[in-house]
Structure 1
Amino acid sequence: MADAPRHNLPAEPNRFVGRERDIGDLCAMFDETRAVTLCGVGGIGKTRLALRVAHRLLDDFADGVWAVELAKISRPELVVQEIAEVFGLESERGRDLTDAVVTRLAGSSCLVLLDNCEHLVEATAHAAAALLAGCPGVRVLATSREALRIPGELIWHVPPLDLPGSDPSAAESVQLFLNRARAAGTQLGEESLPDVARLCRALDGLPLALELAAARTRMLSPGQIADRIDDRFALLTSGDRTAPARQRTLAAAVEWSHDLLSEAEKTLLRRLSVLAGGFDLDLVERVCAEPPLSESRMVTLLGALVDKSLVICDEDRGRFRLLDTIRQFAAERLADSDEERMVRDLHLRVLCKLQERAFDAEFLTPGVTWRERLAAHTGSRDRLADQRAALEWALRSGNITMGLRLCMRSSGLLSLGGSAAEVVGWVERLLRQDLSLVVPEQIGLAKGYLAYGLLSRDDLDSGLAAAREGLAGMAGDPFVLATAHTVAGGALLRMGRGDEATVHIDSALAVARENGDRFNEAGALIEASIYSLQRGRQREAQRGAEDAYAVANAHGHPWILAMAASHLGLAAETRGDLESAAEHYDAAISWLRELGNRGDLAQNLARSGRVCAQLGDLPAARERLAEALAMARECGLRQAMNRCLVSLATLARAEGDLESAVLASSAVATLRESMGQRTGSVKVDELLSAARAKLGEGRTTSLWSRGRSRPPYEVATQVLEGRRPEPATGPLQVGPVRGSLLTAREQEIAGMLTRGLSNKAIAEELVISPATVARHIANIMDKLGYTSRAQIAVWAADHGVPSA
């Protein structure tokens, strides 16, 4: 298995010039200081210096160096979310995300680089302070135009580059200018040094200003540039006299660069500011080619902005981006113009159309290969920054209809790529707005879409409620209708309400088949097969799994293929065909790796590890479970952690470690209760019977209580590392072991089965419906691992469960 990456630092776009002394001093400071903030005006080189320091410190932190880019977000509450996403954590309802991040990093030795904090300085300060307080091995390096003002912070004011002295060629500012001029295609000789030195002094050694000036050497000499920059500085002396001199200098440099553009270039630059992420020519043509600009001029105008260093392009010139300082400058010009609403409305409409086209290719269009569907999904993920900007504008402008429309077709926001929290947040924010102009059918569809996100993050009750609310008012979109029914069915199955689930599953199948929707048809068939497994009908479950895989294969989406393959593996594992189960899980793992879905990948790695343990390949089992556990922790999803614990219990039993198996199974029980989940595949009663026989009632009870009281990850780590539970050192006051995990009603019904009563007779005696009795009996079978009423009756008699 390849080593996990130890950083996410971007490659430097060009040669780093100067600041060697600063880098050495900053690196040394982390021996004694836990928080350093690089302060200075925009364009002074804070980010480049921070990245160079971070690269230099890579070997000093066992758990790596991780950059969190905050410039792309605009709301304070997203600061912690952005940090969480870097470390693979996802938000859950009812759980404080800051606490989750602190828990994740509590034992880590790493450097966290918080870049571009100034617009969110208060929220960033709170997040950084929490990290430092709760994570002793974490160090924070921040860049901001102002200090965070947190305890223990060392503030480093980033100076300009060294200005020319007696030997101009030795000055850092001159070296930078010459290097960037050379990159622009201009070779400057020694005769230019006096003018270059004058220019560097005029620009106060500010890196961004020097780079902008160097880009002009294709058409102007250094002397001509210096003459014009001096003039521009004079024009700014009547501005804000309280602003720092360097800030005015940078503003002059950017303003000067802007004023040298043609009117058409200025128009394109300010329109480009609405493009929040990287962009390609196609997106520029769609969003920016409105009068007085035309689509035919976009290539020339964009090329001109690239040549002038106002737009950055990648090596193959296929993707472009704006520097943040330039974007902010251009956005201010757009806001001052009379075209901001037009451009932002167009951006929102274009994003909707692009996402709808991608959604069709990913899910709806027949005959598309899985590679093409994956490409459509990847494209949606690549446009995430633009989708976020468009959704912010929808909220700001009150265009809720278009905002919901974009959410409904944004697979990049869904958990298929590994995250469910974001789409939930956007839809909830949109639905809190004035909905008087939104048609009820669209509100219903949005709630159906919301339900999928809620279920994906293990919020069963809320997901079921949202699905039902959506179904009550939904019309016009059969794909979302089928999805909502499948979500409701899946939630009910996990909650142990199989009879209710089948109503939704049957409805999902009917809608999907009527509309040729193979994606949702496969999903509904998987849920139907799960219900068959819960009822002990293995042949029926196997046929359902095979049908689901055939339909998924005909559709071709890698996620639904992975889900179908995973369920084929579960069906094979249930009937004892472990070799086939291993093959199916491996197929699912391959697709999920390519898709980048860590939550589902963790669950399938755990299942694969469980099969390896049952086959006796304990090293392979431990390796896969280690990867699954690390991924489950990074995702922060409880269901993924649940799967890991289930499989670790199996591994412990295979190694003859009943104590660890009891500990893990107890943690599983607690985790499932926290999710409202009533079903599972662990035969807990059989395990506890074996534990009581070997370990004794007292030790078994102690282990069970300990597993329920400790954090799931802590229990999982102990079992994975093979550390056996230590014996209790004193008297332990605990309640009885709930060996069967049965509710009081389920125990009551189990006892009544010893009397040979039918469902109808039990229903009459308890004053409930026969269907409810049947549901309880199915739950009992699942929890005890039995397949007949007779087995339940024997179990109840053996355990002294009252029969009346």
Structure 2
Amino acid sequence: MTALDLLTTLVGRSLVVSDGRDRYRLLDTLRAFARSRLADGAHGLDLGLAERRLAAWIRTVVIACDPYSHGPLPDAWPRVRLDLPSIRAALEWAFGPEGDRPTGARIVGALAGTLALSGEFAEASRWLTLAAGVDSDDETMATVLRGVAVVDLYQGRFDEALRAAERAHEHATRTGVEELVASCAITFGSAAWGLGELGRSSALLRDAAATFDRVGDVRGRGFALARLARTLSDLADPDAVETATAAVDDLEASQDDWVGVVALDHLAYALLATGDHRAAAVRAEQAITLAERIGSFSGHLGALSLLGRIRLAEGDLGAARDVQQRVVTAALRVRNLGAVTDGLDGLADVFIAAGQHALAAMAAGAADSMRRRSGVVVTRRRATRAEARLALLGAELGPEALDDRLRAGRSLTPLDALALAPS
């Protein structure tokens, strides 16, 4: 009898469940029973050995599926989601009293990017905190610190992201593995972009793209080019759109939809900077649709926030308001407070465009309160926008009225601030 015949028989006897494709699992009751037998040492079975083997297998799986690694990732994302219960079990063992902490740290380093893109920030932070405390080799520490930086990046904590990314890059450089160095350079360059260090960002991302091009890694090159295009947009570089288009082409060729969302988002960002609002909206909507289909929560949130800016630039205030409300609501669900702050700032801009300056000041106050509580960094771009926003509101309302409205806004919860917008 083949393994498939045996599994088919077990499914027929309701001992094993099939997902209809190529995945099988024990019923929960049988899983618990089997684990108890292992723990009892029945028939010479060893629970510790089984847990160690599971962790070793999970290590192989997640490294192969690491979105911030190099090389193709066929069907990686669905596989990780299906294996999450086993991954969590392996990590609980690895960081437990009888576990293997270096193995756990390596799993976390490879898993962090997936959790960040899925919006699982609390879980990612929990595992990363444990992993960062392990005395590991340079390769493992590079991936763990890269993971710390990625989680911080997606929540707008650019200062922390830059520190972690720089350390990750140092560890990666010591390994001599140029693909790992390039991977960490993407995160490093992204953090530098967030803090407005555009020259540094451009240099790091160009180096990463060149490395991936030299080793023939189309997917890695596409990821680096996508991030580079965003930096070039802020530098007003005329090559930004072409660079972003090349990134989209690379990621379509490598069939990586998850990072493809990022590339589409950054192409929309570059098009918005040129004033081509229609083309920017098309690309942002493509990114949103793709992110929704594959379950990339962070990709969806980023593209949605960008679409709100595009609708505002088009003068479609109703659509812009609706999009910013969706951003805040979605970000609250996963406690991405950086995105909540961005959504509230975006809502303030919509109110300004509508001539509702008192409401704009209250929304800006709510955003400021959230920013202070969450530790979200005020980047140069954000600071410039905030200064322009407050200057305009001060001219319209007067200093005293502006202070009153800002103070009132700081007492609002994000949901209270959303209620300011007329339906």
**TM-score when normalising by structure 2:** 0.83
Q: Which residue of 1 aligns with 2:82?
A: 382
Q: 2:403 aligns with which of 701, 706, 719?
A: 701
Q: Which residue of 1 aligns with 2:309?
A: 610
CA–CA distance in 1 between the matches of 2:22 and 2:387?
60
1:630 CA displacement: 1.7
Q: Which residue of 2 aligns with 1:571?
A: 270
1:581 CA displacement: 1.6
Please say if residues 528 and 544 of structure 1, whose CA atoms lie closer than 8 Å, have aligned partners that are also in contact: yes
1:479 CA displacement: 4.0
Please say if residues 69 and 180 of structure 2, whose CA atoms lie closer than 8 Å, have aligned partners that are also in contact: no
CA–CA distance in 1 between the matches of 2:315 and 2:116?
34
Q: Secondary structure at the match of 1:384?
A: helix
1:621 to 2:337 alignment: no
Please say if residues 445 and 481 of structure 1, whose CA atoms lie closer than 8 Å, have aligned partners that are also in contact: no
1:530 CA displacement: 3.4
Deviations 1:167-211 (A, max 9, x none): xxxxxxxxxxxxxxxxxxxxxxxxxxxxxxxxxxxxxxxxxxxxx
Please say if residues 189 and 202 of structure 2, whose CA atoms lie closer than 8 Å, have aligned partners that are also in contact: yes
AA matched with 2:45: E
Report 1:626-637 matches (<5 A): 626-637=325-336
- Name the CA shift for 1:711/1:335 in 2 (closer, same or farther; >3 Å): same
CA–CA distance in 2 between the matches of 1:343 and 1:558?
34
Deviations 1:219-240 (A, max 9, x none): xxxxxxxxxxxxxxxxxxxxxx
CA–CA distance in 2 between the matches of 1:540 and 1:318?
45
1:355 to 2:50 alignment: no
CA–CA distance in 2 between the matches of 1:317 and 1:587?
28
AA matched with 2:194: R
Deviations 1:380-418 (A, max 9, x none): 111011111122233344423433343344478432223
1:661 CA displacement: 2.4
Please say if residues 112 and 124 of structure 2, whose CA atoms lie closer than 8 Å, have aligned partners that are also in contact: no
Please say if residues 54 and 90 of structure 2, whose CA atoms lie closer than 8 Å, have aligned partners that are also in contact: yes
Q: Which residue of 1 aligns with 2:45?
A: 339
Please say if residues 142 and 184 of structure 2, whose CA atoms lie closer than 8 Å, have aligned partners that are also in contact: no
1:313 to 2:17 alignment: yes
CA–CA distance in 2 between the matches of 1:694 and 1:451?
40
1:428 to 2:115 alignment: no
Report 1:136-147 matches (<5 A): none
Please say if residues 602 and 629 of structure 1, whose CA atoms lie closer than 8 Å, have aligned partners that are also in contact: no
| Unaligned ranges ≥5, structure 1 | 1-295, 723-804
What is the aligned-residue identity percentage?
24
CA–CA distance in 2 between the matches of 1:489 and 1:506?
9
AA matched with 1:452: V
Q: Which residue of 2 aligns with 1:120?
A: none
1:645 to 2:351 alignment: no
AA matched with 2:363: A
Q: Secondary structure at the match of 2:394?
A: helix
1:586 CA displacement: 0.6
AA matched with 2:193: L
1:583 CA displacement: 0.9
Report 1:18-417 matches (<5 A): 298-299=3-4, 301-302=6-7, 305-306=10-11, 309=14, 311-314=15-18, 316=20, 319-337=23-41, 338-340=44-46, 341-359=48-66, 364-365=71-72, 373=74, 375-396=75-96, 397-410=98-111, 413-417=114-118
- Name the CA shift for 1:717/1:500 in 2 (closer, same or farther; >3 Å): same
CA–CA distance in 1 between the matches of 2:53 and 2:254?
33
1:658 to 2:357 alignment: yes
CA–CA distance in 1 between the matches of 2:317 and 2:68?
42
Please say if residues 612 and 621 of structure 1, whose CA atoms lie closer than 8 Å, have aligned partners that are also in contact: yes
CA–CA distance in 2 between the matches of 1:486 and 1:362?
11
Q: Which residue of 1 aligns with 2:190?
A: 490
Deviations 1:541-568 (A, max 9, x none): 4444334334334433222222222222
CA–CA distance in 2 between the matches of 1:451 and 1:318?
35
Please say if residues 229 and 267 of structure 2, whose CA atoms lie closer than 8 Å, have aligned partners that are also in contact: no
CA–CA distance in 1 between the matches of 2:289 and 2:196?
31
Higher helix share: 2
CA–CA distance in 1 between the matches of 2:60 and 2:220?
23
| Unaligned ranges ≥5, structure 2 | none
Please say if residues 183 and 220 of structure 2, whose CA atoms lie closer than 8 Å, have aligned partners that are also in contact: yes
Please say if residues 672 and 678 of structure 1, whose CA atoms lie closer than 8 Å, have aligned partners that are also in contact: no
- Name the CA shift for 1:327/1:489 in 2 (closer, same or farther; >3 Å): same
1:364 CA displacement: 1.0
AA matched with 1:623: D
Q: Secondary structure at the match of 2:95?
A: helix
Larger C-alpha radius of gyration, 1 or 2? 1
- Name the CA shift for 1:507/1:428 in 2 (closer, same or farther; >3 Å): farther
Please say if residues 361 and 376 of structure 1, whose CA atoms lie closer than 8 Å, have aligned partners that are also in contact: no
Q: Secondary structure at the match of 1:621?
A: helix
Q: Which residue of 2 aligns with 1:794?
A: none
CA–CA distance in 1 between the matches of 2:403 and 2:203?
40
Q: Which residue of 2 aligns with 1:50?
A: none
- Name the CA shift for 1:639/1:544 in 2 (closer, same or farther; >3 Å): farther
Report 1:545-560 matches (<5 A): 545-560=244-259
Deviations 1:446-472 (A, max 9, x none): 323333233333333333222222222
- Name the CA shift for 1:693/1:349 in 2 (closer, same or farther; >3 Å): closer
**TM-score when normalising by structure 1:** 0.47
Deviations 1:277-325 (A, max 9, x none): xxxxxxxxxxxxxxxxxxx56445545655555x242584855444444
Q: Which residue of 2 aligns with 1:679?
A: 380
Please say if residues 325 and 347 of structure 2, whose CA atoms lie closer than 8 Å, have aligned partners that are also in contact: no
CA–CA distance in 1 between the matches of 2:221 and 2:57?
30
Q: Secondary structure at the match of 1:313?
A: strand
- Name the CA shift for 1:426/1:491 in 2 (closer, same or farther; >3 Å): same
AA matched with 1:443: M
1:528 to 2:207 alignment: no
1:333 CA displacement: 1.1
Q: After alignment, is 616-625 or 585-594 more displaced? A: 616-625
- Name the CA shift for 1:679/1:716 in 2 (closer, same or farther; >3 Å): farther
Please say if residues 7 and 16 of structure 2, whose CA atoms lie closer than 8 Å, have aligned partners that are also in contact: no
- Name the CA shift for 1:533/1:700 in 2 (closer, same or farther; >3 Å): farther
- Name the CA shift for 1:645/1:680 in 2 (closer, same or farther; >3 Å): farther
CA–CA distance in 2 between the matches of 1:575 and 1:316?
48
Please say if residues 592 and 598 of structure 1, whose CA atoms lie closer than 8 Å, have aligned partners that are also in contact: yes
CA–CA distance in 1 between the matches of 2:277 and 2:35?
59
- Name the CA shift for 1:485/1:363 in 2 (closer, same or farther; >3 Å): closer
CA–CA distance in 2 between the matches of 1:604 and 1:317?
32
- Name the CA shift for 1:526/1:459 in 2 (closer, same or farther; >3 Å): same
1:715 CA displacement: 5.5
- Name the CA shift for 1:618/1:485 in 2 (closer, same or farther; >3 Å): same
Please say if residues 652 and 661 of structure 1, whose CA atoms lie closer than 8 Å, have aligned partners that are also in contact: yes
Q: 1:594 aligns with which of 283, 293, 300?
A: 293
CA–CA distance in 2 between the matches of 1:479 and 1:619?
45
Aligned residues: 414
Please say if residues 607 and 647 of structure 1, whose CA atoms lie closer than 8 Å, have aligned partners that are also in contact: no
- Name the CA shift for 1:625/1:595 in 2 (closer, same or farther; >3 Å): same
Q: Secondary structure at the match of 2:124?
A: helix
- Name the CA shift for 1:668/1:404 in 2 (closer, same or farther; >3 Å): same
AA matched with 2:55: L
Report 1:431-442 matches (<5 A): 431-433=132-134, 435=135, 438-442=136-140
Q: Which residue of 1 aligns with 2:156?
A: 458
